[in-house]
């Protein structure tokens, strides 16, 4: 499940118009952008790193045949390359799933390392101020998971994170995406269209609340679209540390019934 970011559209620090900062010439601390969980249209400051990790992520689902409970620990490492470009490496550090057959009571357990993602975000405008911002974010997923913990093959696509500052306290973020993903038989590819909409409201100086709706559908015949609604809080502990907690609920049978997570974002 994707999640909202800390609003940064209202920030207006000094901007190096010549783009002299890079991975090899670190941006000074006094001009750093606020940070927050992905997806959002703002790139990591050049020469800086961000680690985004979920120390707690729990999913539960039940249908007429089986009950599934899963714990995973996704992590994302972001590297600021230039003023408007960063590089990202995503990992599923741990996947642990238990499935129970409701008819027989038999249990099946699976655990291991998940798939790996490589992405790059390119900010088109609004990186350092203004009421709107947009980026292009191509990505590829590599099938590094053991057993049934991943997609079984490489996939890839592009996201378009966009943000609007509606007023002094409300922000709207919309992230459409299109990707080539493995089909249900794992013998070919179909096109997946996904969309994330997030409304964020500032509650106090360092605390925000959000509500988001995520849906996805593929071109595969007979497959049902997936939809999740979620809500949570984002707390800026300090300029280099952000905590976010949230809970999501599936809106149809094709989606997990419940998702609970705690996320940490750390800049260094």
Q: What is the CATH number of the domain that holds 107?
A: 2.40.128.130
Residue 13's pLDDT is: 38
Dihedral angle at the C-alpha atoms of 100, 101, 103, 104, nearest 10 degrees?
Answer: -90
- Secondary structure (3-state) at 121: strand
Rounded to the nearest angstrom, the gap between the alpha carbon of residue 6 and the centroid of all alpha carbons in its chain is 13
Cα→Cα distances 36→19, 42, 175, 255, Å: 23, 9, 15, 26
Residue 3's pLDDT is: 36
Looking at the DSSP bridge assignments, the partners of residue 61 are 68
For residue 46, what are the contacts with CB-CB under 8 A and spacing of at least 6? Answer: 21, 22, 23, 25, 26, 27, 80, 81, 82, 83
Residue 190 placed within a domain? yes
Residue 24's pLDDT is: 95
Residue 210 placed within a domain? yes
For the record, the structure tokens of 84 come out as 């408007």
Q: How many domains does the chain have?
A: 1
Domain span at residue 148 reads 29-267
Residue 201 placed within a domain? yes
Residue 144 placed within a domain? yes
Residue 149's pLDDT is: 58
For residue 48, what are the contacts with CB-CB under 8 A and spacing of at least 6? Answer: 26, 27, 32, 80, 267, 268
Residue 263 placed within a domain? yes
Residue 19's pLDDT is: 59
pLDDT tens sequence for the chain (268 residues): 333 344 443 333 334 434 589 999 999 999 999 999 999 999 999 999 999 999 999 999 998 789 999 999 999 999 999 999 999 999 999 889 999 888 888 888 888 888 999 999 999 999 998 999 999 999 999 998 765 656 668 999 999 999 999 999 999 999 999 999 999 888 899 999 999 999 999 999 999 999 999 999 999 998 889 999 999 999 999 999 999 999 999 999 889 999 999 999 999 9
For residue 31, what are the contacts with CB-CB under 8 A and spacing of at least 6? Answer: 13, 14, 15, 16, 45
Residue 259 placed within a domain? yes
Residue 147's pLDDT is: 57
Question: Tokens 């997570």 map to which residue?
Answer: 261
Report whether 91 contacts 74 (CB < 8 A).
yes
């Amino acid at each position: 499940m994707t999640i909202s970011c800390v609003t940064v559209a209202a920030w207006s620090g000094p901007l190096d118009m010549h783009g002299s900062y890079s991975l090899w010439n670190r941006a000074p601390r006094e001009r750093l952008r606020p940070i927050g969980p992905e997806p959002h249209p703002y790139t990591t400051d050049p020469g800086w790193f961000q680690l985004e990790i979920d120390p707690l992520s729990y999913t539960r689902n039940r249908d007429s045949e089986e009950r599934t409970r899963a714990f995973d620990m996704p992590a994302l490492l972001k590297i600021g390359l230039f003023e408007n470009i960063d590089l990202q490496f995503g990992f599923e550090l741990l996947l642990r799933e238990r499935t129970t057959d409701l008819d027989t009571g038999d249990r099946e357990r699976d655990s291991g390392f998940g798939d790996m993602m490589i992405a790059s975000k390119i900010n088109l405008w609004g990186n350092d101020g203004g009421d709107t911002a947009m980026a292009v974010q191509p990505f590829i997923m590599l099938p590094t998971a053991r057993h049934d913990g991943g997609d079984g093959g490489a996939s890839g696509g592009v996201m378009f994170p966009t943000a609007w500052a509606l007023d002094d306290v409300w922000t709207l973020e919309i992230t459409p995406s299109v990707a080539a993903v493995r089909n249900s038989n794992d013998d070919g590819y179909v096109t997946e269209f996904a969309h994330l909409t997030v409304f964020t409201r500032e509650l106090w100086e360092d605390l925000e609340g959000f509500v988001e709706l995520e849906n996805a559908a593929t071109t595969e015949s007979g497959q049902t679209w997936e939809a999740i609604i979620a809500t949570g809080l984002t707390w800026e502990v300090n300029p280099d540390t952000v905590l976010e907690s949230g809970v999501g609920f599936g809106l149809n049978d094709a989606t997990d019934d419940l998702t609970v997570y705690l996320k940490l974002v750390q800049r260094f």
